[in-house]
Amino acid sequence: MAILFVSLVGVGIGQSMLFAVLPPVARELGVSPVQIASIFAASATIWVFASPWWGRRSDRVGRRPVMLIGLLGYACSMALMATTIGAGTHGLLPAILVYPALVASRCVFAVFGSGTGPAAQAYVADRTSAAERPSGMATLGAATGVGETLGPAVGAVLAPLGSTAALYLAAAMAAASGVLVWRRLPEPAAPTVRPSPPRARRQRVDRRLWPFLALATALQATRATTVITLALFLQDLLRLSAAEAARDAGIGFVVLALAGLVAQLLIVQRLRPSARVMITVGAPLMTIAFIALALSHDLASCVVALALLGLGLGLVRPGTTAGASLSARADEQGSVAGVVGGLSVIGNVVGPLLGTSLYRYAPTAPFVLNTLVMAAAMAYVLPHPQVRGLKR
């Protein structure tokens, strides 16, 4: 588990640096906010189909090979994105090609990197009992949270070397993590090589998963909208340069991640709440946080709102993954993780595109949209029998 934790920390570092660096840098290269969102939306569209396939694949060939492919794919994607940004900044790549090259670079992550999440979640499910599952999933989320906390600090240290240095470092860390997983991570059980059973194809419409899929989709949509627009929001609200916006957004991402770690490593690990409690407490916290962001007027108020959002995310994310896992059989864990993790990424497509489109009319509009999305998700999920029936 320690090896898996370290590997996901590296992924979290790279992701947080990318979200802080890309929006303002891409804007300076002539890429509009809507185009920035579409970079991630194109990747997310591919993810919807690739993640369930990788999840089913991990049920058949094992968790470790799929995680290795995912980490190496992520490394290639970050290296390509850094090269594109560097070439565009120095005039080596025509401006008209910068945007499609960024889209293609991110899509490499979607095709191959989408295997890491479902394989890692299934790995945790393989090694935990039903009572331990929420805590195990929280630990998994905490690994990403640690990375998201360290990422902006690492990015700040590397800032004098240019905006691409942090992304190249992320690529190197992901490649090293892949080697570590392949050489050191034990498989809990031998893979079963057999044709995919019919039920794996039916998982997409399995009624057991609908409330968790709905909540995961809302979480993906609102979080993606926030991280993509936050740097732009701060830049316009506080009248900052691109470098200053990246710095202040980095502060916000650190607070967001730290609050998530408090939820996952302190609250969940000490109190051991059930998946149902984590969902019913975390979702309202997220909704309150988006209202606070919409009403914020300076960096301090944004930071407070992001702290609330981090606490909510730190509860809802593991609660949702644990709830879906507990609703399925042992031989379905990879498939379930892939379906929920894959189809919920639809939120990453729709949310940021709507949010950045509305951003043109009002900088606070994305957070108003997030509030409405979470309110609708709560109205459906919280009274659902599948959620109310969750126990330790």
User: Tens-digit pLDDT profile for the chain (392 aa)?
Assistant: 677 777 788 887 888 788 777 877 887 888 887 888 788 888 888 988 898 899 889 888 888 899 999 999 999 999 999 999 989 888 888 888 989 999 999 999 999 999 998 888 888 888 888 778 888 888 877 787 777 777 767 877 887 787 788 889 989 999 999 888 888 887 655 444 444 444 444 444 478 889 999 999 999 899 889 988 888 888 888 888 877 887 888 788 888 888 988 998 899 988 889 899 999 999 999 999 999 999 998 899 999 999 999 999 999 999 998 888 888 777 778 888 888 877 787 887 788 788 888 988 898 999 999 999 999 999 999 999 999 888 65
Q: What share of the chain is helix, strand, coil (3-state, %, to 5)?
A: 85, 0, 15
Q: What pLDDT score does 195 carry?
A: 45
Q: What pLDDT score does 1 carry?
A: 62
Q: Where are the domains of the chain?
A: 2-185+198-388
Q: What pLDDT score does 200 carry?
A: 41
**Is-contact 45 237, C-beta < 8 A?**
no
CA distance 293 to 272: 29
Residue closest to 114 by CA, chosen among 102, 106, 104 = 106
What is the amino acid identity at position 206?
Answer: D
**Is-contact 177 10, C-beta < 8 A?**
yes
**Is-contact 377 351, C-beta < 8 A?**
no
Q: Which CATH class is domain 2-185+198-388?
A: mainly alpha
Q: Vertex 9, ends 4 and 337: CA angle to 5°?
A: 55
CA distance 328 to 392: 14
Q: What is the pTM of this model?
A: 0.73
Residue closest to 236 by CA, chosen among 139, 365, 122, 102 = 365
Q: What pLDDT score does 188 carry?
A: 57
Query: In which region does residue 195 sit, left (phi positive, over 0), alpha (psi from -120 to 50) or beta (all else)?
Result: beta
